[in-house]
Structure 1
Amino acid sequence: MTLDVDIRAYNREAWNRQVAKGDRWTVPVGPEVIAAARRGEWSVILTPHKPVPREWFGELKGKEVLGLASAGGQQGSVLAAAGARVTIFDNSPAQLGQDRLVAEREGLEIRLVEGDMRDLSVFPDASFDLIFHPCSNCFVDDIRRVWREAYRVLRPGGALLSGFCNPIMFLFDPELEPEGILQMKYRMPYSDFTSLTDAERRRYTDKGEPLCIAHSLEEQIGGQLAAGFLLSGFYEDKHVAGDRLAEYMSSLCATRAVKPPVP
């Protein structure tokens, strides 16, 4: 079943509502986190739990960093306090407002830009040394455009740090999971916009929650390689507590991908 809706517009408003609800990904870090980052004591996450290895960043001070679909007053603010020159690019004005809140509270210089992660035309080629892209590309349909745009705006030798979902997590029957039953119900390609009945979709839309699209590992990892990146790091992480699948496997991934330096 298809749903005639603007994906970007729907998820923009959904994330604005998540800010009002206090979703975990919308709660800004406190002053103590910023103070520690200024002392060099910091960590950030691309996935729900595991900190990103510090060696993935290299020397952070003075680097031009793009937080791609990374608003919420969390990771970008920490990286700015650690010495990076941070730009946050996000679809949700309310999420960007959380970064503005931290920046004003802590005296941080953070550039905030609203837009679609599939279109970074506001930025010239080779604008950034590092892109930090946590689990968020499940909220757009075409992630190969995301990878191509990320490659374009990175400087040669720059790195793209990304978190994303293993698509298997979207394929089980959500009505049975609370009973501890993992039963496959949906097939790939999967999308909340097109794979569900109207009644099934209302599980999310009646609560104003974002709608997701499951991207294959070929699109996620193969898409980065096709864009020109070279993978230099990988790890997995488990989903949130209470998730039945997390008892059996890690369903989140993180990659470090490098734009090759000019020969």
Structure 2
Amino acid sequence: MKLLQLTDIHLTTPGETIGDRDPNENFRKALSHAVDLHGDADALVITGDLSDWGDRDDYLRLKQVIAAVPVPVHLCIGNHDKRDVFLTVFPDLADENGFVQKTFDLPFGTGIVLDTWGPGSHAGFFCEARQAWLDTQLERLPGPVFLFMHHNPVPIGIAPMDQIMLQDTEAFGRLVERHAAKIRHIFHGHCHLPLCGSLHGVPFSAPRGTNHAGWPDFGNDRNLSASDLPEAYAVILAGDSSVMVHMVEFGYRGEIRREGSPDYAEWDRLTMVR
């Protein structure tokens, strides 16, 4: 099974930039790159910060763009989004409690999109109603389950980012621990950094976003840090017993060299290109 994860696309009014980059154009490039190389993917999930300011026009353009994608697309919302505005464009994505949450079938297991948005904050939230919904889904599903969310569920060790991580971490962690045997992997965004780790034995990962990039500035205790690293998305390969996650830096502008061979007999000091 192959899945694609794009995150933090931050669509803006056409012509506006973020970090001297055009998020609308970079989203288009990411989709084109992903679909051209991975048109056989079983699903594409965008894990939040769909719009930079939660503008309805951004969601309208997003809806138009993903309608042409030949892969099933699923959406999370992030702290830059506005749930009420988003749902005026995507009303069918609300669950019975008005959250942007759903399950979706995969060739191997089930995907779950989680809503970690909260008003007036860049931090993430997972209230009792959302916890109850997820608990119900995990009780009824046979597994394996692949969770997709915006906010990071554990601290990353960088003070400004940890202030705006998921706030209901203990409750979320207890839920993950209780159903750890069913949850194969957790995918998140938000940090604009390539991350991996585990929560109660369940692995999680995040790629860099499709526009502006972060930097792991461990010495900074006040501001969020940015860099000019390439834009990226993730390719996920899942099988019966394993999950492999690639971060594809589609924004890389350098040369791609095909050199060397996996055949040990062809490794020679005189002929190998190094």
TM class by shorter chain equals: 0.3 to 0.5
More helix by share: 1
TM-score, normalised with respect to structure 2: 0.36
TM-score, normalised with respect to structure 1: 0.37
